[in-house]
Amino acid sequence: MHSNYVATGFKLTCKEVAAALRERYHRIQLRGEPRTLKRFDSSDISIAIAAHPWPGAAFVAHWGRPEPWRALSRWQRHQLLCLAASSHHPPSLDAALAHCGTVIEADALESAITAGDLAACRRLFETEGCDWDRQRVPEAAGHSGSLPVCEWLVDTVPGRALNLPNYLLSAACYAGHEHVVEWALQRTAGEDDDQRWSFGWMAAAAAGGQVQLLRQLAARFPLDLEAPGKGTYVLDAVAFGCPLAVLQQYYEPLGGLLLEEAVQDKQVLLLSAAASPTPDWAAKCDWLWAQWRGAVGEWDEEELDVMEQMAELMQRPDFPRRLQLLASRGLGDLVRDLAPKAAGVIGSIAAVEFCLDQLPALLARHTAAAAGGGLAAAGGDGGAQRPAEEQAVMQVIAMEAAGRGHVPVLRLLRERGLEVGVHIILQMLHSGAWPLPGRRERLVSLRNLVLEEPAGAMAQGSGAEHWSSVFRRAAVIGADLPLLQHLHQQRGAAINLAAVAEGGSEEALEWAVAALEAAEGQAPKPLPLSAFKSVLKSGNWAAADWLVRRGLVAASRQQMLESLVVEAVGSPASKAHSWIAPLQWLVGRRRGAEAADGQQDPQGQQVRWTAELHAALVQLRALCESGQPYDAPRRVQWLAGLVAEVGAALGGAAGGA
């Protein structure tokens, strides 16, 4: 029996049952196990999914009112929206949309797609005007295998925006949804670029281990090996996802005989085989080695990006044996450079300990063997890692682990003497490492690095200005109130009200203003217009409403409007649509624009339209329609309506011609 059913139903059957279960079943679970969107040629994506059974009545009773939302940062509110979008419970989605106080990002649509809830998809995309991600959304649809959702996307989104042959069809091939693949192939039949995309379809099927589908596609779309890199691209996927017999079958047809001088292609192919989830991975490596007569060349970090393959390899239970095989094949430098990084990426304690304790000796043995000394030449302490070298390796692991919220790894590194300074925290918060870490993961790590570390342990190089930088970045990505209070009160960080408004909660804003007032003896100065526009760009409508209601914006709504429209018109066509949501907030047309607590907006809801503003709106509409109108079709429709309304009100332009 699911714990949600016990907590919301069975526990309430009688007093005796309630008393017996009260201590154990006192919490309702909203978040289910995140779905991993596997991608054959880039990093995987985690998609938030609602727990099932979903406690719909309890959710609406609690979250169907504004008060509990005030304590949540912007990303937390959006996470709740994603869960409601995947709950198959329309009243829950209604409640979340009414109170979340945030721009609706594409993540919510991905959650609804993954849950296969077509009604929720239509509500978010067509009615609410959520954001669009031209890669992740169609990939989520193809991976889900929901034909109704895929058909809706194709019928709703223009072809060049959806790119059916690339993202959706490739994802369906990887996941092995043959009914979706066949449907998509029929929709793309007769297009001139079938041959262009067919390599990607075959590579996706191969990487996903869909051997039957791979063979069907190979028979249907003859391979053109004259296309540069296409054959080796598919061959890498075959080496990774398919058994040895399939690799042998397609090695020559996919251009394997042309790899004699292609050093980098051979290295990628060997690493793909070594990272393979198939039980015959070692046989594949040996067979490839035999084809090349033992020559793969030297590893060049500047020329080759194989971090994804190494991360896959390090997740295998027998990863030490796989690393040893690569080192024995002349790729010891690759193992030295990437294995510790990959251990941090995946957050494996076993992999981290191996990299620190055993990897140096393993590499030293094979280096000695390559020099003619035999594997025994590096015995004893010859492969021991020096303290400075170990600190450097631990720093590399910590950066990757911290960016992904792998707290157990961070604790292990601390126990082994890792010196964690504020500079590591700043690097982690600004990290662009592969794959790009999310807000939640970075905040989990930040809480560990800051709250569990004694203040004196970070004294070196950690002045107030550094902690102020940490505060600013943490606030922007949505740090909770206790963490912000700790950074200010215990680490000496200055409060950045604009940063809190970009990612924080209403409660965090109330604390920040009260703390600034207590320190300065007067209310803080209103935010300048440039800072407030950053708040609007972040989509934190709840914070924007709060600031305006309390007179903490140093600009009238009219000034905001004029500045925003001018900046929007000057933006590239591909970015123009992103200005519509802030514009909706400014003119008071978005959902929930009225003050939730009954307070009046001291700056008023009305704006004064001029002929110049109307002309700029016409230009913005043209930019959106010529650029990427599919990114937010409902918003573009709203903008067109606003242009017509303003034109009619001015009495001359009438809709902008």
Take residue 388 and report the two structure tokens written for it: 């400075």
Q: How confident is the model at residue 589 (pLDDT cuts 50, 70, 90)?
A: very low
Of the chain, the end-to-end C-alpha distance in Å amounts to: 62
Query: Crossing angle, helix 387-402 and helix 422-429, to 10 degrees?
Result: 40
- Using the CB atoms, write b or e for 317-337: b if 16+ within 10 Å: eebbebbbbbbbbbbbebbbe
In percent, the amount of the chain with pLDDT more than 90 equals 58
Mean pLDDT value across residues 301-330: 90
Report the amino acid identity of residue 387. P
Q: CA-to-CA distance for 34 and 31, rounded, in angstroms?
A: 8
The pLDDT value recorded for residue 603 is 52
The residue ranking higher by pLDDT, 243 or 378, is: 243
Cβ atoms within 10 Å, residue 224: 12
Q: Compute CA 153 distance to the chain's CA centroid, rounded to the nearest angstrom.
A: 22
Q: Tell me which DSSP letter residue 42 carries.
A: S
Cα Rg for the chain, rounded, in angstroms?
Answer: 28
Q: Residue 105: count other Cβ atoms within 10 Å of its Cβ.
A: 17
* Separation CA 363–CA 358 (nearest Å): 9
> Is 143:172 a contact under the CB 8 Å cutoff?
yes
Rounded Cα distance between 279 and 626, Å, is: 51
Residue 596 has pLDDT above 50, yes or no: no
98/594 Cα distance (integer angstroms): 11
Q: Pick from 76-80, 424-428, 621-625 the range whose average pLDDT is largest.
A: 76-80
Whether the CA torsion 635, 639, 645, 646 is positive or negative: it is: positive
Higher pLDDT, 42 or 527: 527
The pLDDT of residue 196: 77
Share of the chain above pLDDT 70, in %: 83
- Coil, strand, or helix at residue 37? strand
Q: Smallest Cα–Cα separation from 467: which of 477, 478, 455?
A: 455
- pLDDT the model gives residue 628: 63
Tell me how crowded residue 263 is: count the other CB atoms within 10 A of its CB: 18
Q: What is the 3-state secondary structure (H, E, C) of 263-316?
A: HHHHHHHHHHHHCCCCCCHHHHHHHHHHHCCCCCCCCCCCCCCCHHHHHHHHCC
Q: What are the structure tokens assigned to 453, written together? A: 């570390």
The per-residue pLDDT for range 8-61, each reduced to its tens digit, is 554 456 655 456 545 664 468 888 888 888 776 667 788 999 999 999 999 999
Query: How much is the pLDDT for 5?
Result: 43
Predicted confidence at residue 28, as pLDDT, reads 81
3-state secondary structure of 367: helix
- Residue pair 276/311 in contact (Cβ under 8 Å)? The answer is no
The tens digit of pLDDT for each residue in 119-138 reads 999 999 999 999 988 889 99
φ, ψ dihedrals at 599, nearest 5°: -75, 150
The DSSP code for 29 is -
Region 433-450: mean pLDDT is: 69
Residue type for position 158:
P
Share the mean pLDDT of the chain: 85
| Tokens standing for residue 167 | 């993202």
Dist CA 97 CA 215 (whole Å): 46
Question: What distance in Å separates the CA atoms of residue 201 and residue 497, rounded to the nearest whole number?
Answer: 49
Q: Which long-range contacts (CB under 8 A, 24 or more apart) does 559-562 make?
A: 559/529, 560/529, 560/532, 560/533, 560/536, 560/586, 561/586, 561/587, 561/607, 561/613, 562/613
DSSP class of residue 527? Answer: B
Entry pTM: 0.88
Query: Which residue bears the tokens 């304790």?
Result: 357
User: In this structure, what are the phi and psi dihedrals at residue 47, rounded to the nearest 5 degrees?
Assistant: -115, 130
**What confidence category does residue 152 fall into, taking pLDDT thresholds of 50, 70 and 90?**
very high
Report the C-alpha gap between 240 and 42 in whole angstroms: 14
Between 306 and 85, the more confident residue is: 85
Residue 222: is its pLDDT beyond 60? yes
pLDDT score for 250:
93
- Rounded Cα gap, residues 639 and 618, in angstroms: 9
For the ranges 3-12, 290-299, 538-547, 628-637, the lowest mean pLDDT is seen at 3-12
Residue 624 has pLDDT above 50, yes or no: yes
- For the stretch 269-297, pLDDT in tens is 999 999 999 999 999 999 999 998 877 87
- pLDDT at position 23, please? 60
The 10 Å Cβ neighbour count of residue 443 is: 22
